[in-house]
Structure 1
Amino acid sequence: MTGIRGLSVFISDIRNCQNKEQERLRVDKELGNIRTCFKNEKVLTPYKKKKYVWKMLYIYVLGYDVDFGHMEPVSLISAPKYPEKQVGYIVTSCLLNENHDFLRLAINMVRNDIIGRNETFQCLALTLVGNIGGREFAESLAPDVQKLIISSSCRPLVRKKAVLCLLRLFRKNQDVVNVDGWADRMAQLLDERDLGVLTSAMSLLVALVSNNHEAYRSCLSKCVKILERLARNQDVPQEYTYYGIPSPWLQVKTMRALQYFPTIEDPSTRRSIFEVLQRILMGTDVVKNVNKNNASHAVLFEALSLVMHLDAEKEMMSQCVALLGKFISVREPNIRYLGLENMTRMLMVTDVQDIIKKHQAQIVTSLKDPDISIRRRALDLLYGMCDVSNAKDIVEELLQYLSTSEFAMREELSLKAAILAEKFAPDLSWYVDVILQLIDKAGDFVSDDIWFRVVQFVTNNEDLQPYAAAKAREYLDKPAIHETMVKVSAYILGEYGHLLARRPGCNPRDMFSIIQEKLPTVSISTIPILLSTYAKILMHCRPPDLELQNQIWTVFKKYESCIDVEIQQRAVEYFELSKKGAALADVLAEMPKFPERQSSLIKKAEDAEDTADQSAIKLRAQQQPSNALVLADPQPVNGRPPPVKVPSMSGSLQDNELAAQPHSHPNGTLSKLEPQAPSADLLNDLLGPLAIEAPPGGMPTDDDHDTIGAEGILDTAIVPVGEQTHTVEPIGNIAERFHALCLKDSGVLYEDPYIQIGVKAEWRGHHGRLVLFLGNKSTSPLTSVHALILPPVHLKMELSLVPETIPPRAQVQCPVEVMNIRPSRDVAVLDFSYKFGTNMVSVKLRLPAVLTKFLQPIQLTAEEFFPQWRSLSGPPLKLQEVIRGVRQFPLPEMANMFNNFRVTICPGLDPNPNNLVASTTFYSESTRAMLCLVRVETDPADRTQLRITVASEDPTLTFELKEYIKEQLIVVPSGRAPTPALPAPVPGPVAQPLSPAVAENDPGALLTGLL
Structure 2
Amino acid sequence: MAWSGMRGLSVFISDIRNCQNKEQERLRVDKELGNVRTRFKNEKGLTPYEKKKYVWKMLYIYMLGYDVDFGHMEAVSLISSPKYPEKQVGYIVTSCLLNENHDFLRLAINTVRNDIIGRNETFQCMALTLVGNIGGREFAESLAPDVQKLLISSSCRPLVRKKAALCLLRLYRKNPDVVNVDGWSDRMAQLLDERDLGVLTSSMSLLVALVSNNHDAYWSCVPKCVKILERLARNQDVPQEYTYYGIPSPWLQVKIMRALQYFPTIEDPNTRRSLFEVLQRILMGTDVVKNVNKNNASHAVLFEALALVMHLDAEKDMMSQCVALLGKFIAVREPNIRYLGLENMTRMLMVTDVQDIIKRHQAQIITSLKDPDISIRRRALDLLYGMCDVSNAKDIVEELLQYLSTADFAMREELSLKAAILAEKFAPDLSWYVDVILQLIDKAGDFVSDDIWFRVVQFVTNNEDLQPYAAVKAREYLDKPAIHETMVKVSAYLLGEYSHLLARRPGCSPKEIFSIIHEKLPTVSTPTIPILLSTYAKILMHTQPPDPELQNQIWAIFSKYESCIDVEIQQRAAEYFALSRKGADLMDILAEMPKFPERQSALIKKAEDTEADTAEQSAIKLRAQQQTSNALVVTDQRPANGTPPVNQLTLVKVPSISNVDDNLAEGLTEENGALSIVDPQPPDILGDLLGPPAIEGPPGAAIHSEHNLVSGLEGASNAEETLAITPVDEQTNAVQPIGNIADRFNALCLKDSGVLYEDPYIQIGIKAEWRAQHGRFVLFLGNKNTAPLVSVQALILPPSHLKIELSLVPETIPPRAQVQCPLEVVNLRPSRDVAVLDFSYTFGTHVVNVKLRLPAVLNKFLQPISMSADDFFPQWRSLSGPPLKLQEVIRGVRPMPLVEMANLFNSCRMMVCPGLDPNPNNLVVSTTFYSESTRAMLCLMRIETDPADRTQLRVTVASGDPMLTFELKEFVKEQLVSIPTASRVPAQAQPTNSPSALSDPGAMLAGLL
Q: In the alignment, which of 384, 387, 394 is matched to residue 385 of structure 1?
A: 387
Relative to structure 1, is the Cα distance of residues 756 and 168 closer, same or farther in structure 2, using a 3 angstrom cutoff?
A: farther
For the residues of structure 2 that align with 1:79 and 1:446, how far apart are their CA atoms?
72
Q: Could you tell me which residue of structure 2 aligns to residue 374 of structure 1? A: 376
Q: Could you tell me which residue of structure 2 aligns to residue 342 of structure 1? A: 344
Q: Could you tell me which residue of structure 2 aligns to residue 497 of structure 1? A: 499
Instruction: Give the drift of 1:4.
Output: 3.0
Conserved 8 A contact 1:142-1:166: yes
Paired amino acid for 1:10: F
Conserved 8 A contact 2:544-2:584: no
Conserved 8 A contact 1:421-1:431: yes
Paired amino acid for 2:217: A
Instruction: Give the drift of 1:94.
Output: 3.0
Instruction: Give the drift of 1:74.
Output: 3.8
For the residues of structure 2 that align with 1:601 and 1:100, how far apart are their CA atoms?
55
Query: Residues 176-191 of structure 1 correspond to what in structure 2 (within 5 A)?
Result: 176-178=178-180, 180-191=182-193
Query: Residues 200-599 of structure 1 correspond to what in structure 2 (within 5 A)?
Result: 200-232=202-234, 234-599=236-601
3-state SS of 2:520 partner = helix
Instruction: Give the drift of 1:253.
Output: 0.9
Work out which structure has the larger RCO, using CA pairs closer than 8 Å and 6 or more positions apart in sequence.
2
* TM-score normalised to structure 1 length: 0.61
Deviations 1:717-770 (A, max 9, x none): 9879995999xxxxxxxxxxxxxxxxxxxxxxxxx962699xxxxxxxxxxxxx
3-state SS of 1:234 partner = coil
For the residues of structure 2 that align with 1:47 and 1:605, how far apart are their CA atoms?
69
Relative to structure 1, is the Cα distance of residues 24 and 269 closer, same or farther in structure 2, using a 3 angstrom cutoff?
A: same
Instruction: Give the drift of 1:194.
Output: 0.8
Instruction: Give the drift of 1:197.
Output: 0.6
Conserved 8 A contact 1:255-1:306: yes
Please say which of residues 308-317 and 220-229 is displaced more in the overlay.
308-317
For the residues of structure 1 that align with 2:58 and 2:122, how far apart are their CA atoms?
24
Q: In the alignment, which of 903, 910, 913 is matched to residue 754 of structure 1?
A: 913
Q: Could you tell me which residue of structure 1 aligns to residue 163 of structure 2? A: 161
For the residues of structure 1 that align with 2:371 and 2:260, how far apart are their CA atoms?
35
Question: Does 2:660 correspond to 1:655?
Answer: yes
Q: In the alignment, which of 117, 121, 124 is matched to residue 122 of structure 1?
A: 124
For the residues of structure 2 that align with 1:180 and 1:368, how far apart are their CA atoms?
54
Instruction: Give the drift of 1:28.
Output: 5.1
Instruction: Give the drift of 1:188.
Output: 0.8
Paired amino acid for 2:660: D
For the residues of structure 1 that align with 2:299 and 2:915, how far apart are their CA atoms?
49
Instruction: Give the drift of 1:168.
Output: 1.4
3-state SS of 1:175 partner = coil
Q: Could you tell me which residue of structure 2 aligns to residue 778 of structure 1? A: 926
For the residues of structure 1 that align with 2:937 and 2:435, how far apart are their CA atoms?
44
Please say which of residues 452-461 and 474-483 is displaced more in the overlay.
474-483
Instruction: Give the drift of 1:568.
Output: 3.6
Paired amino acid for 1:657: D
Q: How many residue pairs align between the two structures? A: 678
Instruction: Give the drift of 1:658.
Output: 2.1
Conserved 8 A contact 1:89-1:124: yes
Instruction: Name stretches of at least 5 consecutive residues in structure 1 with no aligned partner.
Output: 622-641, 648-653, 669-676, 678-683, 687-716, 727-751, 758-775, 782-804, 810-835, 839-1011
Relative to structure 1, is the Cα distance of residues 39 and 217 closer, same or farther in structure 2, using a 3 angstrom cutoff?
A: same
Relative to structure 1, is the Cα distance of residues 562 and 227 closer, same or farther in structure 2, using a 3 angstrom cutoff?
A: same
For the residues of structure 2 that align with 1:614 and 1:118, how far apart are their CA atoms?
47
Instruction: Give the drift of 1:169.
Output: 1.6
Relative to structure 1, is the Cα distance of residues 362 and 96 closer, same or farther in structure 2, using a 3 angstrom cutoff?
A: farther
Q: Could you tell me which residue of structure 2 aligns to residue 958 of structure 1? A: none
Conserved 8 A contact 1:327-1:339: yes
Paired amino acid for 2:267: E
For the residues of structure 2 that align with 1:412 and 1:177, how far apart are their CA atoms?
47
Relative to structure 1, is the Cα distance of residues 180 and 645 closer, same or farther in structure 2, using a 3 angstrom cutoff?
A: closer
For the residues of structure 2 that align with 1:12 and 1:777, how far apart are their CA atoms?
63
Deviations 1:623-669 (A, max 9, x none): xxxxxxxxxxxxxxxxxxx999566xxxxxx421124179899899x
Relative to structure 1, is the Cα distance of residues 112 and 414 closer, same or farther in structure 2, using a 3 angstrom cutoff?
A: farther
Conserved 8 A contact 2:141-2:179: no
3-state SS of 1:779 partner = strand
Paired amino acid for 1:437: Q
Q: Could you tell me which residue of structure 1 aligns to residue 828 of structure 2? A: none
Please say which of residues 36-45 and 193-202 is displaced more in the overlay.
36-45
Q: Could you tell me which residue of structure 2 aligns to residue 194 of structure 1? A: 196
Instruction: Give the drift of 1:163.
Output: 1.0
Conserved 8 A contact 2:561-2:569: yes
* TM-score normalised to structure 2 length: 0.61
Conserved 8 A contact 2:454-2:662: yes
Paired amino acid for 1:163: A
Instruction: Give the drift of 1:175.
Output: 2.9
Paired amino acid for 2:418: K
Instruction: Give the drift of 1:603.
Output: 2.8
3-state SS of 2:476 partner = helix
Paired amino acid for 2:927: T
3-state SS of 2:267 partner = coil
3-state SS of 1:376 partner = helix
For the residues of structure 2 that align with 1:373 and 1:242, how far apart are their CA atoms?
29
For the residues of structure 1 that align with 2:367 and 2:444, how far apart are their CA atoms?
21
Conserved 8 A contact 1:240-1:247: yes
Q: Could you tell me which residue of structure 1 aligns to residue 702 of structure 2? A: none
Paired amino acid for 2:422: L
For the residues of structure 2 that align with 1:263 and 1:756, how far apart are their CA atoms?
59
For the residues of structure 2 that align with 1:532 and 1:667, how far apart are their CA atoms?
28
3-state SS of 2:527 partner = coil
Please say which of residues 377-386 and 228-237 is displaced more in the overlay.
228-237
For the residues of structure 2 that align with 1:806 and 1:281, how far apart are their CA atoms?
60
Relative to structure 1, is the Cα distance of residues 319 and 719 closer, same or farther in structure 2, using a 3 angstrom cutoff?
A: closer
3-state SS of 1:656 partner = coil
Relative to structure 1, is the Cα distance of residues 334 and 556 closer, same or farther in structure 2, using a 3 angstrom cutoff?
A: same
For the residues of structure 2 that align with 1:498 and 1:141, how far apart are their CA atoms?
87
3-state SS of 1:359 partner = helix
Query: Residues 916-935 of structure 1 correspond to what in structure 2 (within 5 A)?
Result: none
Relative to structure 1, is the Cα distance of residues 685 and 509 closer, same or farther in structure 2, using a 3 angstrom cutoff?
A: farther
Please say which of residues 657-666 and 328-337 is displaced more in the overlay.
657-666
Conserved 8 A contact 2:654-2:751: no
Q: Could you tell me which residue of structure 2 aligns to residue 7 of structure 1? A: 9
Deviations 1:14-68 (A, max 9, x none): 3334455554554455455555655665556554443343334334444555566
3-state SS of 1:474 partner = helix
Instruction: Give the drift of 1:565.
Output: 4.0
Instruction: Give the drift of 1:296.
Output: 1.1
Conserved 8 A contact 1:134-1:172: yes
For the residues of structure 1 that align with 2:121 and 2:194, how far apart are their CA atoms?
20
Instruction: Give the drift of 1:9.
Output: 2.6
Q: Could you tell me which residue of structure 2 aligns to residue 706 of structure 1? A: none
3-state SS of 1:526 partner = helix
Instruction: Give the drift of 1:184.
Output: 0.8
Paired amino acid for 2:355: Q
Paired amino acid for 1:579: R
Conserved 8 A contact 2:55-2:93: yes
For the residues of structure 1 that align with 2:654 and 2:302, how far apart are their CA atoms?
47
Relative to structure 1, is the Cα distance of residues 562 and 39 closer, same or farther in structure 2, using a 3 angstrom cutoff?
A: farther
For the residues of structure 1 that align with 2:141 and 2:189, how far apart are their CA atoms?
24
Conserved 8 A contact 1:569-1:664: no
For the residues of structure 1 that align with 2:502 and 2:663, how far apart are their CA atoms?
23
3-state SS of 2:350 partner = coil
3-state SS of 2:526 partner = coil
Deviations 1:606-628 (A, max 9, x none): 4345459849999xx9xxxxxxx
Relative to structure 1, is the Cα distance of residues 592 and 111 closer, same or farther in structure 2, using a 3 angstrom cutoff?
A: farther
